[in-house]
Chains A and B, each alone.
Chain A
Amino acid sequence: MSLSDVSKSLPDLSISIGGLTLPSPLIIASGLWPHDASFWQEPYSAGVGAICSKGLTRRPRTGNSGIRIWETPSGVLNSIGLQNRGVEVFVKEELPHLAKSGIPVIVNLAVESLEETIESLVLLKSVVKDIAAVELNVSCPNVDCGGMAWGMSADGVSSVLGVARKVWEGELWVKLTPQAFDLPAVGRAAEDGGADALVVSNTWLGMAIDVETKKPVFDRIFAGLSGPAVFPLALRCLYEVAGSVSIPVIGCGGVCSDEDVLAMLLVGAAAVEIGSMLMHDLKCISNIHESLTKRMVLWGVGSVADIIGKGRGDRF
């Protein structure tokens, strides 16, 4: 069936996350897309609900030395180390161009210290009209100061939200790490701390050895695993967290197809973030959007909201 055949009864793919409405449930995950406005337009923008910025820090970071990416079976390990130009440059030089695209901008803010997080949020407040939401990244596995350490426990997340929620009145998402021992408890702490939504999740800690050199591939030894290989793991985490909180949960990890999107929606995702698949196909989002639309028509489903949480089954 071609899209023109079904255009009469196109389903509604818009979704709401807290106080935010997005035109599509497909969000570009942090760290994959250039802060270059020429990529924030057709043909890349088709089907995109929002774009997350690269993880930003208060001050510029040069990122990690050595190899930064390594292909694994159906996935990639990365050790970028939050290379970014800092919140100030982002606010002054990049955001104005990106906001003009009309695509909702989600600012991924990497939590280092609490002081720097407050300073960054104050800077972002001056441009709040251009920001759809702040996604607090308490889950980067590739840095020493802060990063994932904050997201490992309910206490860590509570302290971050304790300061962030006081400064930032806009939509506030928290991106969790699957390394947390008790992910549902961390999710509940974020909800109690005032998060508007959760993102489940960031990358999985892995490693690689170069057998030729007989050494670890990455200078930091461990790196973050993403891509299709992690999808079942991410789906399970999403299932658990969505069953434990009442705020919206955004699924993330290994999404490659409309089937993956539907699986995440069915277990309770309010939307999904797509990262690594964009390295495989820059236009995967528009393709997924098209096949998702077709599938919803076939199913006779009028809106994404009608699918969310409808496939959780019973778990004893």
Chain B
Amino acid sequence: MQCSRGLEREGFLIDKAFLGGGVYSLRFETQELLPAILPGQFFMVGPHRWKSDPFLLRPFAVVDGSENGVEFLMKVVGRGTKDIVSCERGTSFRLRGPLGNGVFTATRGRSLALVAGGIGVAPLLCAWKFHSDVISSFVFGVSNRDWAGVADWASSKVSGLTVASDDGSLGCKGTAPDVLKKEGDFIDEIWACGPVPMLKAVYETFGGKSLIMASLESRMGCGIGGCHSCTVKTQRGMLKVCHDGPVFDLSEVFLDELI
């Protein structure tokens, strides 16, 4: 659906919940209708009160979307996220999106597993909503018990979610890729999102056997493929995370060059 106002939209924060571990769920309402959002797509987000400082909007994966609403999971890591989660309900925001052409798409008849690390669970929750009928397992790896609230929240959306923690204080003990390995035999395809070390571990464990599609992060300026800020090195050259991704076939990506 082509929107007459383009990708630059106004939205209002309508709901904010603290889930623990520095993570919030934020829901926004837009006045105009949103186009259909695909799993893996993201928005560039910032309150209107950001005039020049902070200057850049921040990218966040869509957890859930509707005709006039969109939900994100946001982990506070720096000044932008800190300011966003401090906004009151009703605050008006810039919501640029939905962005990204490389998304999660399922192929019928292939076994599919999801593996998330930390806040990387966000786009995979959206993927689950779309493709739960073909997903055989979904492993959510976190560092420790601080993530209990987020894990509960995610479990309320995903039936059969397996939670794993590095120190064993929440769910099973172990890293998400290790736990996934124990859970399943042969998996045709894995969808992954999480910190770079986790993506590397997924690739080391399953690369060559399963197709691994991963949603990547990179610092962004425009979000629309104009500024070349967000590139990652791949077999097909320097590709833009915002335009060619954010979901890439991990076998094409030079993992050691991810920042």
A residues touching B (Cβ–Cβ < 8 Å)? Answer: 31-34, 36, 39, 42-44, 54, 62-63, 65-71, 73-76, 78, 80, 83, 227-229, 256, 276, 278-283
Contacts and interface: CB of A to CB of B under 8 A. Distances in A.
Q: Could you tell me the dominant secondary structure of chain B's interface residues? A: loop
B221 A78 contact: yes
A74 B53 contact: yes
Contacts of A31: 226-228
Contact of B4 (A43, A66, A68): A43
A266 to B, nearest CB: 21
Contact of B52 (A66, A78, A256, A283): A256
Given A32-B222, A69-B221, A63 B227 contact: no
Contacts of A74: 52-53, 55
Contacts, number: 97
A281 B10 CA distance: 11
A283 B227 CA distance: 15
A69 B227 contact: yes
B52 A228 contact: yes
Contacts of B230: 68-69
Contacts of B238: 62-63, 83
Nearest to B57: A280
A229 B54 CA distance: 12
Given A67-B219, A256-B52, A282-B8, A32 B226 contact: yes
B237 interface: yes
Contact of A71 (B54, B222, B259): B54
Nearest to B227: A32
Given A43-B6, A227-B55, A280-B56, A83 B222 contact: no
B229 to A, nearest CB: 4
A126 B221 CA distance: 34
A62 to B, nearest CB: 5
Interface string B22-57: 000000000000000000000000000010111111
Given A39-B226, A44-B6, A83-B238, A68 B219 contact: yes
A100 B57 CA distance: 31
A283 B259 contact: no
Interface of B: 4-8, 50, 52-57, 94, 96, 219-222, 224-231, 233, 237-238, 243, 257, 259
B226 A283 contact: no
Contacts of B231: 63, 68, 83
Q: Describe A's contact surface by its main secondary structure.
A: loop
14 contacts: A31-B228, A32-B222, A39-B224, A54-B228, A63-B228, A68-B229, A78-B221, A83-B228, A83-B231, A227-B52, A279-B222, A280-B55, A280-B56, A282-B7
Q: Which 9 A-B pairs have the closest CB atoms?
A: A69-B229, A228-B52, A74-B52, A279-B221, A34-B226, A34-B225, A43-B6, A74-B53, A83-B228
A274 to B, nearest CB: 13
A176 B59 CA distance: 33
B54 to A, nearest CB: 6
B237 to A, nearest CB: 6
Residue in A39, A43, A69, A78 whose Cβ sees the most chain B Cβ within 10 Å: A69
B225 A36 contact: yes
Nearest to A28: B226
A83 B231 CA distance: 10
Nearest to B233: A65
B9 to A, nearest CB: 10
Contacts of A66: 259
A229 B55 CA distance: 10
Given A39-B226, A65-B257, A279 B56 contact: yes
Given A65-B233, A83-B238, A279-B55, 12 more contacts: A33-B226, A34-B224, A34-B225, A39-B226, A43-B5, A66-B259, A68-B229, A69-B220, A69-B221, A69-B229, A280-B50, A280-B56
B5 to A, nearest CB: 6
Nearest to A43: B6
A78 B222 CA distance: 12
B225 A78 contact: no
A281 B94 contact: yes
B219 A69 contact: yes
